[in-house]
Every structure is written in C-alpha cells, then in structure tokens.
Amino acid sequence: MNSTQIKKNNPITISEEVFGTTRDGVSVKSFTLKNEKGMEVSIITYGGIITTLKVPNKKGVSEDVVLGYKSLASYEKATPYFGALIGRYGNRIANGKFSIDGKEYALKTNDGSNHLHGGVKGFDKVVWTAEVLKDKGALKLSYLSKDMEEGYPGNLNTEVTYTLTNDNTLEVAYQATTDKKTIVNLTQHSYFNLSGDFSKPILDHIVKINADTFVPVNRTLIPTGELKDVANTPFDFREPKTIGQDINADNEQLKRGLGYDHCWVLNDQNEGIRFTSSAYEPNSGRLLEVFSDEPGIQLYTGNFLGGTLPNKQGGIYTNRTGFCLETQHYPNSPNQKDFPSTILKPGDTYSTTTSFKFSVK
C-alpha cells in the first residue's frame, strides 16, 4: 500500500491497494481517503463502489456504517447494488423503452419487464479509471459508456469525483457529456446502518425528508404519473420519525414495495444544493444529513435483502438492515412529460452534486 499526505491545510490521506481481479481478468484497485476527524471511506474502481465508510459515534469510536462485502467476487455476483454508482439511469424505466424526438429506444430489461439501474451491466458493474486529486483530497473516477451500451444512444463520458472533507462530509460530484441526445440519471446506492452493527434492523433510525409530495407506483414499482401529498400518509417525513413507525401500516403503496421503496419530490427545487433529508441513530448518536441539487430522493429500506447475502461482519444480511437515500430524478421520467427532464444534449454538461455529512448529537 502506498500513501500520499495531502497539503497541511487539507490533511486528507489517500492510500491505494489492489482489491482483486475481475472474472474477466481486470485488476481492481481500492482507494482509502482518511481525514483527521476519524472518518475514512474506501472506494473500489469496480462500480465506483463505496466498500467501507467509517465515522465516529458519540463516544468517538469510528465504525463502518455502510453494507457491503469483503471480496470482489461477492460484488460480481447478483447484488443489491451495495455502495455502487448507478447509471446510465438510476431507478426504473417502464418496459425498458423510451423515445427521443420520435425514435424509440429499447433498453435491456432486468427487473421483470422493466429496466432498472442501467440494465444488465450498468455503471455498477464496470471498471472505472481512477485519478487521485492530491490537492483536493479527492478521487476522480471516469468511464466512457459507448453508443448503444445497454440500449442507450450516444457515447457518454462520465466523471464522478468523491471528495472527503475535514467536517466529515463525503461529496459526490457527477459530470457527463454526450455526442448524441440521450437520457442520464446518476446516483449513489450506499446502504447505511448508522448503528455500525449490520445485524440490527434500521427501523429505529429517525428520518426526515424535506418533501411535501411523493411518487406513487403501480404493482411493478413504476410511477403512476401522479404526485401525491404526503399529509396523512405513512410517507410524511416532514417531521422526524422512525422508519419503523409506519412501515407496516395498512397501505397499498407500502405493500407494493414491501416497505419504503419510493421517490419523494423534494422541496425548493430551484434553490440548487440544499438540505434534502437526514437520518439519526439514537444509540450511536450518529447523524447523517444529505444535501443535493437533485429534484427527488429515493428512500429504500432494504426490504429485499434477506436470505443469502454474506454480511461482511459475519452471517448474512437480513431484511431492513440497511437503508438508501438515493438523490435522483424521478423513476420513468423519460416516459412522463410532466416530470423534470432527464435529456442530455450534445454540447451540454450533466452536472449534479450530493453531499453526505456526518456528525453526532
């Protein structure tokens, strides 16, 4: 392992080691960013995956708070996208089809009849090119998605920069350009359990979401097109409440997702980067706050985790032992003219930023 000390006014260290080799024989590297406050994050070039993220609890003890695996082989198997970069399109597209300027495109379907998280081999399953940005305490990952990869038009050049700061914030900045009109909706798919104990469910985490409406879905989890007021529903997180408070309510939307697996329509969409959501775990005292310029956020409560996936702390992951807060555009936006557009044109730059800020209280 080699380690590089960043400038004294930004004491972030970045170390590098080999994480493994893919089944296709491609070497995968792991980069670990550490700050002076006890926070560290490890990211591998396969899928841009965050494999570990350690932050202090209220006693000052740093523990890993993201679900994942110990081995590359486990990530290469069928996986619930632990820690991965998601693209070209995060979330679902109905029947894997959309049209641009009257031309229909057919994407690979990998979620029943629907397209999910970029398809059979999305950005979560490719090896990215890494560049250490020493003066910024950052890791930049790059990937060229070629024209018609998974059915998407255009050669898409994508860069994702992970930056660690000394206030225990991990910033994820996305940029993309294309040579043909296409659709883009990138996100980060880490599963958090702020207790640091992945055998414990996340139902006691206290969540707040800055959203007055959410996106109802049909039986295959595709948006109906309606945006529904959260008032007097289990989807009202405008005031902090535990995930478990209403997750088992007699509600058709919850039944369809076996819990929360929905997109919220974030408030203040014209204000750029702003507070979107937070999660607090009382025993550890850890608080996660998420800031973004995206219009939506998907809360997924790990409803399908149970059964077989190896827990990196030992045993297996069970249902609802991790939750995701995925900043994004709404699902199936290319087929909903009233949803914010996900079209990217040649000459334009897709640019969005999300920050995960950790503290204790």
What are the residue numbers of the active site? 189, 326
Q: Residue 286's beta-bridge partner residues?
A: 281, 360
Q: Are 279 and 287 in contact (CB under 8 A)?
A: yes
Task: Decide: helix, strand or coil at residue 25.
Answer: coil
Q: Are the CB atoms for 265 and 213 separated by under 8 Å?
A: yes
Compute the distance between CA of residue 111 and CA of residue 211 in angstroms, rounded to an integer.
27
CA angle in degrees (0–180, nearest 5) for 194-291-38: 45
Decide: residue 153, CB within 10 A, 0-12 exposed, 13-18 middle, 19+ buried: middle
Give the number of residues written for the chain: 361
- Tokens found for residue 25: 């024989």
Radius of gyration for the alpha carbons in the chain, expressed in angstroms and rounded: 19
Least Cα distance to 185 among 176, 196, 194, 198 occurs for: 176
- Lookup: tokens for 6: 């960043």
Label residue 150 left, alpha or beta by phi (over 0 means left) and psi (-120 to 50 means alpha): left
CA dist 245 and 235 (Å) reads 11
Q: Which residues contact 352 (CB under 8 A, 6 or more apart)?
A: 173, 174, 186, 292, 293, 294, 327
Distance CA 32, CA 51 (A): 10
Of 70, 71, 82, the residue nearest 23 (C-alpha): 71
